[in-house]
Amino acid sequence: MAIFRVKIFSLFERFWHWLQMLLILVLLITGFGLHGFHNLMSFRTAVTLHTGAALTLLLLWAFSVFWLFTTRSWRHFIPTWQGMWGVLRFYAYGIFKGERHPYRKAYWRKHNPLQALAYLMLKIVLFPAIWITGLLYLFYFAWRNLPDAPLWLGAIAQVHTAAAFLILAFVFIHVYILTTGHSFRDHVMPMVTGFDKVDLSPEEEAYLRKDQPEDIR
């Protein structure tokens, strides 16, 4: 195995990441405004921005799911127990002693086991929870005549808000981890340029140099 700079984040993946970050930021700010945490905008403006950002994010997620399955990139988000203990130990203990991160990115495994598990839970639990409850809230007029509809609406609002706070916690943890180990710039640049340091087997290096020479430096 040898380390090379390899393009592991495609243009669409980077566009998806940054646009998703922007939309989630808009949703959090407008959501907090709707709950009365600030007065940066009127209620009507907050509702309009929140709804527009949510629908745009839903469209982006639909494209991203299509991209994940057509490119088989979904495999990067399947967690494995191999190496999990080492990563958990690093974030619980080793990171405070300046130890080296135990995980080395591989061409077909660019997320460490803990990252893969966190991203998978985000995609199959938190994101569906927030968009299903959001759509139910948005289209309340279509089911408001059902029995106990107001009670269900209250429960849906609580689940929606809880999912939003969990996503906010994920954002804080995500940004915090970017400040550990290497510099913040070193962590962020791969999502700007697409290139990162990756351990390649001789077969992977030969494949990239022959079929995708523009993706290896």
Which residues lie below 8 Å from residue 8, measured CB to CB, with a gap of 6+? 105, 107, 110, 190, 194, 195, 196, 198
In the predicted structure, residue 93 carries a pLDDT above the cut 90: no
pLDDT: is 103 or 137 the higher one? 137
Tell me if residue 73 falls in helix, strand or coil.
Answer: helix
- Could you tell me if 200 and 1 are in contact, meaning their C-beta atoms sit under 8 angstroms apart? yes
Which residues lie below 8 Å from residue 130, measured CB to CB, with a gap of 6+? 160, 163, 164, 167
Cβ atoms < 10 Å from Cβ of 54: 21
Model pLDDT, residue 59: 96
Using alpha carbons, select from 48, 54, 106 the residue that is nearest to residue 82.
106
Model pLDDT, residue 125: 95
Half-sphere exposure of 94 (CA within 13 A, CB side): 13
- Length of the chain equals 217
Q: What does the domain layout of the chain look like in residue ranges?
A: 1-78+186-216, 83-181
Model pLDDT, residue 153: 95
Mean pLDDT taken over the chain: 90
Look up the pTM and report it. Answer: 0.85
pLDDT: is 202 or 16 the higher one? 16
Using alpha carbons, select from 88, 79, 91, 83 the residue that is nearest to residue 176.
91
pLDDT per position as a tens digit, 112-133: 899 999 999 999 999 999 999 9
pLDDT per position as a tens digit, 6-48: 988 999 999 999 999 999 999 999 999 998 999 999 999 999 9
Mean per-residue pLDDT, 150-173:
94
Lowest mean pLDDT among 53-67, 98-112, 149-163, 202-216: 98-112
- Could you tell me if 21 and 210 are in contact, meaning their C-beta atoms sit under 8 angstroms apart? no
